[in-house]
A and B are shown apart, each in its own frame.
Chain A
Amino acid sequence: NAGVMQNPRHLVRRRGQEARLRCSPMKGHSHVYWYRQLPEEGLKFMVYLQKENIIDESGMPKERFSAEFPKEGPSILRIQQVVRGDSAAYFCASSPTVYLDTQYFGPGTRLTVL
């Protein structure tokens, strides 16, 4: 059973460009979480999605950030008009159920904004 897949593993963007990060959950998992890790910090929750629904986006910045989890295909975290402060590692996690279940993490995408 393949684990959580994320791509790309490394992404370099110039200020003002768009970044698209993809996450494929583990087989059988329908709940996806996105977290951001700034340098020397712990992970911070951004958004929780189920298929075709955003359940909790309380950790998402109000502007430039969006997320989706379509019926078919991976979950996408999209950052428009990136700024240097967006440089971080972005982790996706998935779980099979919603009630107090373990979240399994992907390898992360390291975004660098020049």
Chain B
Amino acid sequence: AQTVTQSQPEMSVQEAETVTLSCTYDTSESNYYLFWYKQPPSRQMILVIRQEAYKQQNATENRFSVNFQKAAKSFSLKISDSQLGDTAMYFCAFMTPQGGSEKLVFGKGTKLTVNP
């Protein structure tokens, strides 16, 4: 069974600093995607970044980047120049085609607080 583990229930960072959120996953599949979603207090799920497993290059989206270590099954999210609006729950998620169904498997989340 695929599992996603986020070992940091809560983290905090000062505004303008950099923070890294950890995620590990377990799968025997070779073809899959990884995602980070953000859930602010509004509870809307917002896609932050995605990574295709076949790509060696780490994905980046403005201030957000990932460190994808396929052999170690690790997928961490780095947020640079943290802003107050980055305060949210962050969920790591995994997707692989299984029998025609591509459900997302989520970790339990990391609550990030950006302090002024």
A-to-B contact residues, CB < 8 Å? 33, 35, 41-45, 48, 55-56, 58-59, 89, 91, 93, 95, 98-105, 107-108, 110
Contacts and interface: CB of A to CB of B under 8 A. Distances in A.
B64 interface: no
Interface residues of B, number: 29
A45 B43 CA distance: 17
A104 B46 CA distance: 8
Contacts of B109: 41-42
B113 to A, nearest CB: 16
B101 interface: yes
Contact of A42 (B91, B95, B101): B91
The 4 closest A-B pairs by CB, nearest first: A56-B101, A105-B45, A42-B106, A45-B103
Nearest to A34: B103
B108 A41 contact: yes
B106 A100 contact: no
Interface in B83-103: 91, 95-97, 99-103
Contacts, number: 68
Contact of B33 (A33, A100, A108): A100
Contacts of A41: 108-109
Contacts of A105: 37, 44-46
Contacts of A59: 103
Contacts of B4: 42
B40 to A, nearest CB: 11
A91 B106 CA distance: 13
Contacts of B52: 100
A17 to B, nearest CB: 23
Contact of B44 (A99, A100, A107): A107
